[in-house]
A and B are shown apart, each in its own frame.
Chain A
Amino acid sequence: MSASATQPLTRAALVEAPDDLDELIEFFHARRWSDGLPIVPPTRERVARMLSGTARKPEEVIAKIAPGFGEATVERIAINAVMAGCRVDYLPLLIAATQAMAEPQFNLQGIQATTNPVAVWLLVNGPIAEQLGVNGGMNCLGQGTVANATLGRALRLILQNIGGALPGDMDRATHGQPGKFSFCCAENEAQSPWDALHVERGYKRNQSTVTVIAAAGTHNLNTHADNADELIKVIADTMAFPASNDYWIGGEPWLVLGPQHAAILAAGGLSKLDVKRRLWEESKLSAGRMCAKEVLRTQSTRGAALGTITSETMLTVAQQAEDIGIVVAGGPGTHTVYVASFGDARAVTREVLTA
């Protein structure tokens, strides 16, 4: 194996690797260049084909990825996209997601190096979701869709290979979570009674966007509540747990409302903002439910806003109701997914530019 001496630093190096596929896969595992699953070999031809998915130059630096601050060039993004099994037309979405992750408010340094189980959730809005086949319907957070599986996987490889966050090394996660293999879906805009996330964030319906979210896990809320008041109550009760980062930090938790639940809330006359406000009010947690150290930490993080924190203080899940994220996704069924957040991160949305 030898790096090509003629390549400038911003260009990726070609290396000699075994011709045999089984040996080649082991070659990648041995160098910790994979996520533990077999990869598609990033040959010169495959990477060139992937790069045809964008008009950008291969050496263009899209972002520097924490914690190693390696340069995510278009070419390196394409290489990792090939390895993950992405199709050529997925590349612009990965470029936009890489840009989004590097925005300071996303706090990628914290996300990458924390002991918390934080996955970067890719949420796709606008026409590109259908064009790429990103699933926002049944089993949208599960297996079986090429775009959902490989886009999230490519992002993980970018975080690991370009950002340098290897598990047990700079990635200090105590457990991690399965979403760190891939966590990607579309919003089910057709079945949402409200504006989609990208419209809420100032984009037009026909613009395509990707939003990156620091997700600490997924929690199933199976409830047959059939009116808005009951549904708000059970969702709010479920959000309020004392070992949640959202309460001691003042976070940005998310709800993936199943279309049935969203329809019940809309039929109750609630706008998306009404739902956020109701949940924010009704999910308050008594600081007395936290352990003593957490109360001290809460004093440090939220004391400036809330004053002295005592065991009687009622803590909100986010600093303001608007910080609760709501999207509609999934298929039929009495389910909603609660996505508790890392806490110290704010989601970032970027337009996907396919030209």
Chain B
Amino acid sequence: MQVYDPTAPVAGATQNLRRTVGDLRGKVIGFIDNTKPNFKLLVDDLGELLTERYGVKAVIKQVKRSVATPAAANVLDDLATQCDLVITGSGD
């Protein structure tokens, strides 16, 4: 018999990176802190590494209200304005 497929195509399956950054030297890197207690420590270490080893110009850290909520629109706007690259993660 014929039946309907109940699923929907998953959106964004063909998304690509808008552009690549290449060399990190002189770039501004952003992090979105997911508020889990150890994320901040991880980002502090990564920030030092990025600055000392790869010569990034600045590291900007923004914090979400809580782990399960999306970052607020003003946080995203702020990062988009200031950063060349933003790293989000789920470190714990």
A is bound by B = yes
Footprint of B on A, CB under 8 Å? 3, 9, 12-19, 24, 33, 41-44, 47, 64-65, 68-73, 75-76, 79-80, 83, 107, 109-110, 114, 116, 157, 161-162, 164, 249, 293, 296-297, 300-301, 342-344
Q: Which residues of the partner chain A approach B21 to less than 8 Å between Cβ atoms?
A: none
B11 and A69 contacting across the interface, CB-CB below 8 Å? yes
Task: Select A161's contact among B3, B6, B65, beta carbons within 8 Å.
Answer: B6
B10 and A69 contacting across the interface, CB-CB below 8 Å? yes
- Residue B7 is within 8 A (CB to CB) of chain A in the complex: yes
Task: Map CB proximity to A onto B3-20 as digits: 1 under 8 Å, 0 otherwise.
Answer: 111111111100000000
B1 smallest CB distance to A (angstroms): 5
A-B residue pair count with CB separations less than 8 angstroms: 105
Could you tell me the distance between the alpha carbons of A116 and B70 in the complex, rounded to whole angstroms?
A: 16
Could you tell me the distance between the alpha carbons of A76 and B66 in the complex, rounded to whole angstroms?
A: 33
B4 and A15 contacting across the interface, CB-CB below 8 Å? yes
Could you tell me the distance between the alpha carbons of A162 and B5 in the complex, rounded to whole angstroms?
A: 10
In the complex with contacts A109-B70, A249-B66, A344-B68, A72-B1 CB distance below 8 A:
no
- Of the listed residues B3, B65, B68, the one surrounded by the most CB atoms of chain A closer than 10 A to its CB is B3
A17 and B10 contacting across the interface, CB-CB below 8 Å? no
A12 and B68 contacting across the interface, CB-CB below 8 Å? no
Q: In the complex, which residue of chain B has the Cβ closest to the Cβ of A111?
A: B68
Could you tell me the distance between the alpha carbons of A157 and B5 in the complex, rounded to whole angstroms?
A: 12
- Residue B2 is within 8 A (CB to CB) of chain A in the complex: yes
Q: Which residues of the partner chain A approach B65 to less than 8 Å between Cβ atoms?
A: 300-301
In the complex with contacts A70-B11, A110-B69, A344-B68, A15-B5 CB distance below 8 A:
yes
- Residue B46 is within 8 A (CB to CB) of chain A in the complex: no
A341 smallest CB distance to B (angstroms): 12
Q: In the complex, which residue of chain A has the Cβ closest to the Cβ of B70?
A: A109
- Residue B89 is within 8 A (CB to CB) of chain A in the complex: no
Could you tell me the distance between the alpha carbons of A107 and B67 in the complex, rounded to whole angstroms?
A: 12
In the complex with contacts A297-B35, A300-B63, A71-B1 CB distance below 8 A:
no
Task: Select B66's contact among A14, A17, A72, A301, beta carbons within 8 Å.
Answer: A301
- Residue B22 is within 8 A (CB to CB) of chain A in the complex: no
Q: Which residues of the partner chain A approach B1 to less than 8 Å between Cβ atoms?
A: 16-19, 24, 41, 43
Interface residues on B, range: 20 to 34
- Of the listed residues B6, B9, B12, B68, the one surrounded by the most CB atoms of chain A closer than 10 A to its CB is B6
Q: Which of B1-52 contact A (CB under 8 A)?
A: 1-12, 35-37
Could you tell me the distance between the alpha carbons of A110 and B10 in the complex, rounded to whole angstroms?
A: 17
Q: Which residues of the partner chain B approach A42 to less than 8 Å between Cβ atoms?
A: 3-4, 6
B11 and A17 contacting across the interface, CB-CB below 8 Å? no
Q: Which residues of the partner chain A approach B66 to less than 8 Å between Cβ atoms?
A: 249, 297, 300-301, 343-344
Q: Which residues of the partner chain B approach A64 to less than 8 Å between Cβ atoms?
A: 11
Could you tell me the distance between the alpha carbons of A18 and B8 in the complex, rounded to whole angstroms?
A: 22
B35 and A76 contacting across the interface, CB-CB below 8 Å? no
B63 and A14 contacting across the interface, CB-CB below 8 Å? no
B36 smallest CB distance to A (angstroms): 8
In the complex with contacts A107-B68, A107-B69, A44-B4 CB distance below 8 A:
yes
Task: Select A300's contact among B2, B12, B35, beta carbons within 8 Å.
Answer: B35
B7 and A44 contacting across the interface, CB-CB below 8 Å? no
A299 smallest CB distance to B (angstroms): 9
Q: Which residues of the partner chain B approach A15 to less than 8 Å between Cβ atoms?
A: 2-5
B2 and A16 contacting across the interface, CB-CB below 8 Å? yes
Q: Which residues of the partner chain B approach A83 to less than 8 Å between Cβ atoms?
A: 6
B43 smallest CB distance to A (angstroms): 14
Q: Which residues of the partner chain A approach B2 to less than 8 Å between Cβ atoms?
A: 14-17, 43-44
